[in-house]
Structures are given as C-alpha cells and as structure tokens.
Chains A and B, each alone.
Chain A
Amino acid sequence: MKGAMALLEVDGLHKRFGETTAVDGVSFQIEPGEFYGLLGPNGAGKTTSISLICGLLKPDGGDISVGGKAFWSDPKSARQLMGVVPQDLALYEELTGRENLEFWGKVAGLSPKDAKSRATELLESLTLSDRANDAVSKYSGGMKRRINLGCALMHRPKLLLLDEPTVGIDPQARVNILEFIRERVNEGVGILYTTHYLEEAESLCDRIGIIDHGKLLAEGTLADLRSQIGHDQLFVIEGAFKDVERSGWSDFNDSFRVIQETDTQLVVAASEKRDPADCLKQLLALPVQLENVTLKRPSLNDAFLALTGRDLRED
C-alpha cells in the first residue's frame, strides 16, 4: 500500500448466473503504480471479476469505483481511465499491426494524428516496428499477444486490466510481455493482472489476491501470504503414510497443520511460531517409518493449497 487514493476500489462484488455464484463478495483495491495479481484456477471467477470491473457485466451487488468515482455513475469516463487486455486475441487479423493500433486509439478518442504517433511509439516499445505493416494474420502467437496488449494502451490508461495476457505463448515472448507491463507499472499505471501461473504472480505482483469459487480467500504481499500458512516454514515428511491412522497422534494434531498429503508424503506447517529444531525433533518421533524430513520456505502454491485444498498446478 502506498498511501495514495485508490485507482480502483472493489467492494463486496457479487455476480450470479442462475444458480451459480460466479463472484461472491470480492473486495480489493489497487493504487497507482501497483501491480495486483488475482490468482486462481480456471473457473475461479477471475474473468468474471474483470468483466464486472470494466462494465461488460453488471454486478448483482457491490460497488466499483474508478479514480474515486462510482463506475456506473459515469461508465464512459471510468472506461477512459482504464485499458482492458482481454484473454481473447480481439484483433482484426486482416489489418496490419499498425492499423489495429490506430483503430483502437481512434475509438478511444485519439485524433488520427495522435493515433499514428502513439502507434509508432508503441510498435517501437513492443519491438514490432519491422512488422508494423504486415497483416496480423501473419504474426506469431507472441506478436499477436503484444499487439493485443498495445491496443489497450493507445489512450494511455491509468489503470490496466489484464486477463491472462500470456496464455499460450512461448517463454521468451512471455518474458518480453511481462517486462513491458513492468515498465508501465514504473510509469505509475495501476495493474490488475489475472493469472493461473504461480511464477508470474510470485515474480511480478506487489500484492496477490487468491480467488477460488468466486471468493477472495486471502490477499497480501507474497511474504504475507507465505507467513499466513506456515510462519515462513514448512516441513516435508516422506514415509509410508498409506494405512496410517493419524487421529491418535494428538500431539502432532495439536502442533501441526497438514497442508498437503499423499500416500508417501505429508507437507505440514507448525500451528504457531516455534523453533524449527523442536518441530523437527517432534516430527522425527512420529510412530511411522520415515524416510526423510526437510524444511522449506512456503511457496505461493503452498499458500494456495492451504487456502483452497487444491494444487493450482494440477488445474
């Protein structure tokens, strides 16, 4: 939190589709120059949340403010402040990269002259100048993603909503796009970034919200989320746990919380902050044949696992 007025404020957002609750009381805020990640598996409610924030869908409940003003009091002004990068490649493939950029710029209100110069600037930044006059249909997946991103930036939005902008592209192209987005953050643009890639959330985001089944389960910095589950340490116990009945391990159950379990492995966190050596001693004394016990720092995936009961990587 940087103390400035929130660029985006979402409060108690609700959306239902028939019997299904897609977004259930989601609240968070984003400040200028902040990179906020919304992390969750497919179907968690990330895209619906973005659709509600940019006004593509109307919420059943809750409030959205952009730049301090309620979104629905003046949607056009709110949209002038925001740029949306959809998950789909929403481009005109028969047009060139430059024509696409100029078109979206003009729709956002730029004059033809300004649209042209801004397109030149963005093509340079996105390293697409040499292919600017080629039809988008001839671009690689990564190049299309870059133009898709550029189209949302033509009118220099203060808030950028990115819905999984790196889906389906190679690692190098992903790195290029993420670097480009990071530069926008340095310019003071606030970012809402949805992803199901843990590495992206871990390496990019100032704050992360973990969402599942439409609910924001936790939010904070990476350190906050890690410490919430295991006081910054997790124990990985390897052994034969298949037919072991743990209900009788009262000391263990009182002292540890199981984050993940398989027939051969338990990942546990101490229930309260303790000396790791004491924890290790207690674990080694368990009445089961152990093969190995290791100590590790909790990852974002561990946090996700602890909060949702499922592994994001399995999704």
Chain B
Amino acid sequence: MKAILAIATNDLRVFLRDKSSYIWLFVIPLAFAYFMGFVSAGGPGDPKNARPEIAIINNDSGFMSQLFLDTLGSEGLNPVSSDSTESAKRGLEIPEGFTEKILSKEEVSMGFFKVGSDDDQRAFLSQVVLARAVVAFNAYLLEAATDSGVDGPLTEAAIRSVMEKGNPIALDARFAGRKPIPVGYNQSLPGILVMYLMINLMIFGGAGIASERRSGALRRLSVFPLTKGELLTGKLLGLMFLASVQIVVFVLLGQFAFGVNMGSNLTGILLTLLVLSWVGGSIGLLIGFMITAEEKVVGLSLIIGLPMAALGGCWWPLEIVSSEILQRVALMLPTGIALDALHQLITFGSDFSSVLGSIGLLTLFGLAANVAAVKQFRV
C-alpha cells in the first residue's frame, strides 16, 4: 500500500509541477463552462429547481403583500422589483390596500403582465408557479381564518405559523410529455466537467505512461519490489487524485460562484465523478500502453474524447436532441451515463439511490478498461 501511495502522490506531483496542467485542468474548462452557461441561459435556469425572476410592483404597505411575496419565493419564484430586473419574463402588480382588503374579507385582484415579448419555457414556468403560489396563499389564509374562528383576527403571526407547516398537497409543475431541460450553468458546468475529466485523464494518463515508457521509468518501476497490480493501481490512483483536484475546484466554484446546486446530493455527485475518473484514467493507461509517442496520445485522446463528449450531452442537453437513437447512444457512453446521473442529482432533485444504476454501469466500463489496460501492459 505504501508503494501504491508513493506512486500515486508522485504522479500527482509530476502532473502539477507542469504549469500548463493548470490551464487544462481549470482555466479552459471553467471558461468554457461560463461561456456555454451564459449563452444558453445566463445562469442557473433549470425550470424546476432554479428560481425564475418575476417583476413585482408592490403598491401595498401592509404585511399581507410581504407574506404573499414570501409565498412566491417558497414556491420557486424570485420576486424582484420591476425596475431592477432584466431577466424576468412575467410581472405582477399588487394593488394599494391589499392588506386591508384581505383583512376585511374583500375580494382582491392583482395585475398580471408580460415583460418583453418572449414566450419561452421560463416564462410559461413562471406563470405556472405563480398560479400555484396564488392557490397556496389562499389556502394559508383559509386555514389561518379557520384556526382563529369566524370573528377572530387574521394576524401576520397566525398566517406565518400556517405557512411554516407547509402544504399537505404540493403541485409538481412540469411540462406535459417531457422532462425539464437543464439549461444555463446547470447544463454547462457538469457537462464541461465530465468532458474535461475524460479528456484530461486520457491525455495525462496516456502521455504520462508513454513518457515513462520512453524514459525507462516504467521499466525501472517494474524491477522494484512491487507487483504489476500495485504498479497499475498506483498509476490509476495518481490519475484519480488529479481528477479529485479538478472535481473539488469545480464543485466549490459550481456551488458558490456559478450558483449550481451541488450540495443537496454531494455524496452521489462525488461518487459519480470519481467512478467516471476511474473510467477515464483506465482508458488513459490503456492508450499509454498502446502508444509511446506523446503527440499521438493527445491526438487519439481528442479523437475519442470529443465525440464522446458531444454524443454524451456535454455540449448541449440531450433533451433537445431530436433523434431518439442518439439519445439512446448517449446513455451507452460513459460521458452520457455520468452526465445523466449528474443531471438527476443536480437538476432534477433525484436522490442517490436513483443513480445507483448509472454508477453501476460506469463501474462496468471501469472494469472493462482496467482489464484491457492490464492485458496491454508493457514497459
């Protein structure tokens, strides 16, 4: 075990000693993720988990409008002042005397309006969630009124107490017949991470082995007191250490800089990415055992990695791919399997158990690549 760790940590040190590594590990992937996320939606724009902005013109000065705005927030909208939003597609005007009218049990109408001419998916979703919020708010009022009796006062504290209990029945807003589409950084960040993990591990792994075969370092390792299994495990672990560095940076920046929800299913996300790293590292070792010229290793890794990334949905959401065959092909590739699991965990709010199948499939890919690398092993 000591020898395995020595090999792995040494490889990580060698990789990170090369300054150009940082460009391929962090700078370019993050730039791509930012650019692609910005272009596709300009931020965390998943229809279910993200919080589309809604423009608010609030003419009321009482507590009821504030409670209503809180309800909008808890239902998944981000209410912002109408003069400080650029991305809101829909808006709502709360009339003057809103609080007083509700307290005196009069009917109140709010003004709904469109912002701009876009009628995209985010706009329709805002409408759906708005309707849900109105229903929920009415339910809160009704329950609070019931609790306080027919003539009892309807207080802010009483309504808040009802709101904190949550809804016994929730409305899950979806578009009929299809899954929501990951957009913005929710699509670009995991997509680019999956793509660069695979390509970097193939290049670093393959070129590292090729270079050590050329220099004789691998031959030297082979005559030290360690088994072939220990040597290969050390090499693979070194690549997974490298991948872990990239994963940690992406997860932290994803959560805190890009606003992508990494924290809810962190264990599942990390496990998926580590198993994918195992697959990428094993393919890298295999390539290194087959080819000794480093430039050819880079070329082959790109030839394999880029189509895998594109077909696997790293560049655009698979949901917008019209061909069902291509959608099925994606789920036969390690990139597509990993990305599907990540979307489940990050975007669609699924739990860890729902991606166990994907992790199992990736494990099979890892085992197959391992067996091939062992068979191809040469110094």
Which residues of A pack against B, CB within 8 Å? 54-56, 76-77, 79-80, 82, 84, 86-95, 99, 103-104, 106-109, 111, 151, 155
- Given A76-B227, A108-B225, is A90 in contact with B220 using a C-beta cutoff of 8 Å? yes
- In the complex, chain A residues whose CB is within 8 Å of the CB of B226: 76, 107
- In the complex, chain A residues whose CB is within 8 Å of the CB of B217: 90-92
In the bound complex, CA of A138 to CA of B224 (Å) = 26
B215 touches A88 (CB 8 A): yes
- In the complex, chain B residues whose CB is within 8 Å of the CB of A107: 3, 6-7, 221, 224, 226
A88 touches B10 (CB 8 A): no
A88 touches B219 (CB 8 A): yes
In the bound complex, CA of A95 to CA of B215 (Å) = 14
In the bound complex, CA of A76 to CA of B224 (Å) = 8
In the bound complex, CA of A208 to CA of B2 (Å) = 39
A94 touches B227 (CB 8 A): no
Across chains A and B, which 4 residue pairs bring their CB atoms closest together, nearest first?
Answer: A88-B216, A106-B6, A90-B216, A90-B220
A91 touches B215 (CB 8 A): yes
Q: Is the interface on chain B under 10, 10 to 19, 20 to 34, or 35 or more residues?
A: 20 to 34
Which residues of B pack against A, CB within 8 Å? 2-3, 6-7, 10, 13-14, 17-18, 215-217, 219-227, 379
Given contacts A86-B219, A106-B6, A107-B6, could you give 7 more A-B pairs where the C-beta distance is less than 8 Å? A76-B226, A80-B225, A88-B216, A89-B216, A91-B217, A94-B18, A106-B3
| Cβ contact of A95, chosen from B3, B17, B225, B227, cutoff 8 A | B17
In the bound complex, CA of A89 to CA of B222 (Å) = 15
B17 touches A89 (CB 8 A): no
- In the complex, chain B residues whose CB is within 8 Å of the CB of A111: 2
Chain A's nearest CB lies how many Å from the CB of B13? 7
| Cβ contact of B225, chosen from A77, A93, A94, A151, cutoff 8 A | A77
Q: Which residue of A has the minimal Cβ distance to B7?
A: A107
Chain B's nearest CB lies how many Å from the CB of A52? 11
A54 touches B223 (CB 8 A): yes
Q: Which residue of A has the minimal Cβ distance to B15?
A: A94
| Cβ contact of B17, chosen from A86, A88, A94, cutoff 8 A | A94
| Cβ contact of B220, chosen from A55, A82, A86, A155, cutoff 8 A | A86
> Could you list 10 A-B pairs, sorted by A, with CB under 8 Å?
A55-B222, A55-B223, A56-B223, A80-B225, A82-B223, A90-B217, A94-B17, A95-B17, A106-B6, A109-B2
- In the complex, chain A residues whose CB is within 8 Å of the CB of B225: 76-77, 79-80, 108-109, 155
Q: Which residue of A has the minimal Cβ distance to B222?
A: A56
Chain A's nearest CB lies how many Å from the CB of B59? 67
B interface: dominant SS = helix
- In the complex, chain B residues whose CB is within 8 Å of the CB of A56: 219, 222-223, 379
- Given A95-B14, A109-B225, is A89 in contact with B220 using a C-beta cutoff of 8 Å? no
Q: Which residue of B has the minimal Cβ distance to A78?
A: B225
- In the complex, chain A residues whose CB is within 8 Å of the CB of B2: 106, 109, 111
- In the complex, chain B residues whose CB is within 8 Å of the CB of A109: 2-3, 225
In the bound complex, CA of A77 to CA of B2 (Å) = 16
- In the complex, chain B residues whose CB is within 8 Å of the CB of A95: 10, 13-14, 17
A interface: dominant SS = loop
In the bound complex, CA of A80 to CA of B223 (Å) = 9
Chain A's nearest CB lies how many Å from the CB of B224? 5
- In the complex, chain A residues whose CB is within 8 Å of the CB of B13: 95, 99
- In the complex, chain A residues whose CB is within 8 Å of the CB of B219: 56, 86, 88, 90
In the bound complex, CA of A54 to CA of B224 (Å) = 9
B17 touches A84 (CB 8 A): no
In the bound complex, CA of A306 to CA of B226 (Å) = 43
A103 touches B10 (CB 8 A): yes
B14 touches A92 (CB 8 A): yes
Q: Which residue of B has the minimal Cβ distance to A54?
A: B223
In the bound complex, CA of A104 to CA of B226 (Å) = 12
Q: Which residue of B has the minimal Cβ distance to A155?
A: B225
Chain A's nearest CB lies how many Å from the CB of B106? 78
- In the complex, chain A residues whose CB is within 8 Å of the CB of B215: 88-91, 93
- In the complex, chain B residues whose CB is within 8 Å of the CB of A93: 215
A104 touches B224 (CB 8 A): yes
- In the complex, chain B residues whose CB is within 8 Å of the CB of A155: 225
In the bound complex, CA of A79 to CA of B221 (Å) = 11
In the bound complex, CA of A11 to CA of B224 (Å) = 23
Residue among B13, B223, B379 having the largest count of chain A Cβ atoms under 10 Å: B223
In the bound complex, CA of A86 to CA of B217 (Å) = 9
A86 touches B216 (CB 8 A): yes
Residue among B10, B17, B18, B222 having the largest count of chain A Cβ atoms under 10 Å: B10
Chain B's nearest CB lies how many Å from the CB of A75? 8
In the bound complex, CA of A192 to CA of B9 (Å) = 32
Q: Which residue of A has the minimal Cβ distance to B214?
A: A88
In the bound complex, CA of A6 to CA of B216 (Å) = 29
- In the complex, chain A residues whose CB is within 8 Å of the CB of B223: 54-56, 79, 82, 84
Q: Which residue of B has the minimal Cβ distance to A92?
A: B14
A108 touches B14 (CB 8 A): no
- In the complex, chain B residues whose CB is within 8 Å of the CB of A54: 223
In the bound complex, CA of A155 to CA of B2 (Å) = 14
B224 touches A79 (CB 8 A): yes
Residue among B2, B3, B224 having the largest count of chain A Cβ atoms under 10 Å: B224
- In the complex, chain B residues whose CB is within 8 Å of the CB of A103: 6, 10
- In the complex, chain B residues whose CB is within 8 Å of the CB of A79: 223-225
- In the complex, chain B residues whose CB is within 8 Å of the CB of A77: 225
In the bound complex, CA of A111 to CA of B3 (Å) = 10
- In the complex, chain B residues whose CB is within 8 Å of the CB of A82: 223
- In the complex, chain A residues whose CB is within 8 Å of the CB of B6: 103, 106-107
B10 touches A92 (CB 8 A): yes
In the bound complex, CA of A108 to CA of B6 (Å) = 10
Chain B's nearest CB lies how many Å from the CB of A82? 8
- In the complex, chain A residues whose CB is within 8 Å of the CB of B227: 76
In the bound complex, CA of A82 to CA of B14 (Å) = 26
In the bound complex, CA of A88 to CA of B224 (Å) = 16
- In the complex, chain A residues whose CB is within 8 Å of the CB of B14: 92, 94-95
